[in-house]
Amino acid sequence: MGRLDNNLKIGNEKHFATELITMNEVLKTIGGKWKLKLILALTHGDKRFNELKTFVIGISPRALSKELKELERDGLVKRLVYDEPVLLVNYQLTEIAWKLNGVIRELTSWCAWYKEAFLESQPNDWSHEVM
Amino acid sequence: MGRLDNNLKIGNEKHFATELITMNEVLKTIGGKWKLKLILALTHGDKRFNELKTFVIGISPRALSKELKELERDGLVKRLVYDEPVLLVNYQLTEIAWKLNGVIRELTSWCAWYKEAFLESQPNDWSHEVM
DNA sequence: CGGGATCCTAGATGATACTG
DNA sequence: CAGTATCATCTAGGATCCCG
C-alpha cells in the first residue's frame, strides 16, 4: 500500500485528501451535538426560539442561541422577525438546508440497519440516554 | 402549532421524538471529530495504525487509539492482528460500516451544493483550515 | 417571548515521551 | 510498529440569572 511520504502516490490517496477536506467542511457546518437535531426539528415547520427549546430535548437557551447564530451565519437557517402585535421570531430552513433531507434519510436508514445488525447481537445500552 | 406540554399532540411531534432519538443514536456512534474521517479512510482499504495516523491528518496517537477502540466496540471496525514475522495490526470496516457509504455520498454531494450555493456568494473562509 | 451575560465543569483533544 | 502514559489545554455545553 502506497504511503504519502514516498513519491509513489496512488490515485486513491489524492482522492482521499479531497474527501477529507470535504468532510472537514461538512462537520464544521453541521457537525456537533445540536445542529442536525435543530435542522431536523425545523423540517417539521418553522419554529420559534422557545418552541425549539421544547422540541429539542435537553438544549439550553445558551446552546440554542449559539447554534442558531451559527446556522444562520452559515446560511442554513433564516431568522424571521415579526413585530406585530408582540415580538415573534421564527426560524426557518433555507433551501440548502432542505437538501440535507437526503443525508438525514440515509442516516436514519443506516441507524435502522445498525440496530438490527449490531445491537440485537450485543445490547449496547441506549436506554440510559439522557439526551 | 401544538406543544408537547399539552394533551393535543399532532403526528409530526411524536414522529419527531422518534427521529430525535435516532439522531442521538447515530451521533453517539459516528459523531465527533474523527469517526467519519476514519471510516472514510478505511473505505480505501484496510489500514494499519500508523497508516491511519498519516492519512487522517492531524489525529494524535492518543485520539486515534481511543476512536478505534470505540469503533471496534460499536461494531464498525474489525481489528486484525497478524503476528508473522512482525506485529502488524490491520483495521477493517465491517459490513455495517460499509453501509455508511450512502451517508457519505449524501454528505459529499450536499457539500458540493453548499459550496456552490452559499460560499460563492459569501466567502466563508475555509482556507484557514487547520485540520 | 427571545434571548444575553456569567460562571463553571467535564470531557474531548493535543503534545510529547515512552514501552513491548 | 502499535500503541500507552502523562500532562496540559481547550472549549463545548450546562446552570442560572437577568433584561428589554
A37-54 pLDDT per residue, tens: 999 999 999 999 999 999
Lookup result for grid cell 415547520: A45
Mutate: best of A88, A106, A121, A124, partner B, most B CBs <10 A: A106
What pLDDT shows up at residue B15? 83
B125 or A86, greater pLDDT = A86
Q: Are strands A77-82 and B47-48 parallel, antiparallel or unpaired?
A: unpaired
pLDDT tens sequence across A8-17: 344 467 788 8
What pLDDT shows up at residue A5? 33
Nucleotide nearest to B60 (CA to C1'): C14
Distance CA A96, CA B115 (A): 10
Question: B31 vs chain A: nearest CA distance in angstroms?
Answer: 7
pLDDT tens sequence across B85-110: 788 999 999 999 999 999 999 999 99
Cβ-based contacts (< 7 Å) between B 66-85 and strand D: 68, 79
What pLDDT shows up at residue B120? 65
Chain-wide mean pLDDT for chain A? 84
- Write the burial class of residue B108 (CB in 10 Å: 0-12 exposed, 13-18 middle, 19+ buried): middle
Contact B39, B93 (CB under 8 A): yes
Segment A2-9 shows an average pLDDT of: 34
Q: Residue window 30-89, chain A: list those with CB within 8 Å of chain B.
A: 31, 33, 36-37, 40-41, 44-45, 47, 51, 54-57, 74-75
- For A33-121, give the CATH class: mainly alpha
What pLDDT shows up at residue B14? 77
What pLDDT shows up at residue B121? 66
Three-class SS of residue B61?
helix
% of chain B beyond a pLDDT of 90: 68
Q: Which residues contact A97 (CB under 8 A, 6 or more apart)?
A: A39, A42, A71, A76, A77
What pLDDT shows up at residue A118? 72
Q: Where are the domains positioned within chain B?
A: 1-30, 33-121
% of chain B beyond a pLDDT of 70: 81
What is the radius of gyration, based on Cα positions, of chain A? 20
Q: Residue window 94-123, chain A: list those with CB within 8 Å of chain B.
A: 95-96, 99-100, 102-103, 105-111, 113-115, 117-118, 122
